[in-house]
Chains A and B, each alone.
Chain A
Amino acid sequence: MASLRDYRDRIKSVTSTRKITSAMKMVAASKLRRAQEQAEASQPYAQSMADMLARVAANVTVNASSSKLLAGTGSDQTHLIVVVTADRGLCGGFNGNLAKAALKMARDLIAQKKDVKFICVGRKGQVLVQREMRERMWESFTGLFGKSRVDFAAADEVTSYILDKFDAGEFDVCTLLYNEFKSVLTQTPTAQQLIPFKLPEMQDNEEQDKGDSAASEGGPSSPYDFEPEEEEILNALLPRNLGVQIFRAFLDSAAGEHAARMTAMDNATRNAGEMIDDLTLQYNRARQASITKELIEIISGAEAL
């Protein structure tokens, strides 16, 4: 049986663990708030970009001469998977689930005789993907989420790396895999195809109509002029849009990371509390047992005289 001293030491160590987890929870909560604010602040740009793309796309037909970012390379042999995870752990299944989804996707593609390459953003994803598919890893970007806010420059860096590789013809299809921030309690691994880019026609046309009829008396059919030509604008817009999509994934992932860590640390704090209660009970019981034992010894000693 553990001695009283052992119990005391355990209680002390669990108490200090609880202090740490509850502090981490509070830090995560405040970081989450900031990340959510940032995600909100970036909305107008993403929205305007989507509107503009829809407008331009409505005037352009996709054909063989269109940008490869839109039309594709005509093959789907090599897939690039961009995995966005956190740099740090202690956030429940946040990184693990995403890495699992990434590896599953890669295995499925490999089973279909496709070639798969990886770009990892975030140290945790890099470690987890490397464990199984080291030779397929192109590049990993870490430390992008370390700062209090995510810079657009960070997304830009990753975007230009991807575009360089694409221009060099090193892959055909690019999929972005990240944790979508649904709510503080749920973040779901989401795959989004970046290249070739799928124009979100239906949805955005509706939005465009709404925007137009609200904004201009000319009605939704008011013609748009383009300068330079539609094709040229589209070719300039697409790479920017890629950056915007990646940036949005970063922001979602950053908010999700803090939310997941907050939830995980909340659980840990609660578990530590329960453990302390249990241990305290056992400690008291053991103390009582030893007092009783001593008493019995004294009494039976006195009776023997």
Chain B
Amino acid sequence: MTDTQTINFELVSPEEKLIEEPVKMAVIPGTEGELGVGAGHSSFVVALKLGVVQLYKQEGDTDPQKIFIAGGFADVTGQQCTVLAEQATNVNDLDQAALEQELADLTEDLDRAADAAETLRAESAMVLVKAKLSAVTGALVV
């Protein structure tokens, strides 16, 4: 018997299944705003943007597990929340100093980019790093 008060949360990357556990509520970053998903949620499919997935494991949990994902999709039914993400990292494993360094490097790359393809690559890498930074600091980095 599954506990009706929790929802089974799954996080899968193309390479492996990263997390599979029951949670009280999962907050996922939809393209049109964050959504909290709990047991009995109506079924839907949602596209996700770069952002943080928060897992509240128990009732009144104040310190959710935070996982950074680089976009993806979520498939939600009443009992199951499956998040497909191409890249996922525990927010606690992100190193703020290293990310800031990377951002500085990328800014430099962007200035020196020779052609459009290089600019594009640096820009998309920068979006990713910025999103990771804001996940760590909790503030919006622009």
Which segment of A38-46, A88-96, A100-108, A174-182 sits at the interface?
A: A38-46
Interface centre among B14, B47, B80, B84 (most CB of A within 10 A): B14
Q: Chain A contact residues: over half helix, strand or loop, or mixed?
A: helix
Give A230's nearest chain B residue, CB to CB.
Answer: B45
Q: State which residues 37-76 of A face B: CB under 8 Å.
A: 38, 41-42, 44-46, 48-49, 51-52, 55-56
A228, B45: Cβ atoms closer than 8 Å = no
Query: Nearest-CB distance from B136 to chain A (Å)?
Result: 23
Q: Is A237's beta carbon under 8 Å from chain B?
A: yes
A216, B79: Cβ atoms closer than 8 Å = yes
- Cα separation A161 to B47 with both chains bound (whole Å): 23
Q: Is A148's beta carbon under 8 Å from chain B?
A: no
- Cα separation A42 to B16 with both chains bound (whole Å): 5
Q: Contacts A45-B12, A45-B14: A227 and B75 contacting too (C-beta < 8 A)?
A: no
B14, A244: Cβ atoms closer than 8 Å = yes
- Cα separation A212 to B14 with both chains bound (whole Å): 23
The interface size bin for chain A is: 35 or more
Which segment of A13-21, A79-87, A217-225, A271-279 sits at the interface?
A: A217-225
A224, B44: Cβ atoms closer than 8 Å = yes
Q: Which residues of B contact A243 (CB under 8 A)?
A: 14, 86
Q: Is B127's beta carbon under 8 Å from chain A?
A: no
Query: Nearest-CB distance from A71 to chain B (Å)?
Result: 20
A216, B78: Cβ atoms closer than 8 Å = yes
- Cα separation A244 to B86 with both chains bound (whole Å): 10
State the A residues within 8 Å of B (CB): 38, 41-42, 44-46, 48-49, 51-52, 55-56, 151-152, 155-156, 212, 215-218, 222-228, 232-233, 236-237, 240, 243-244, 247
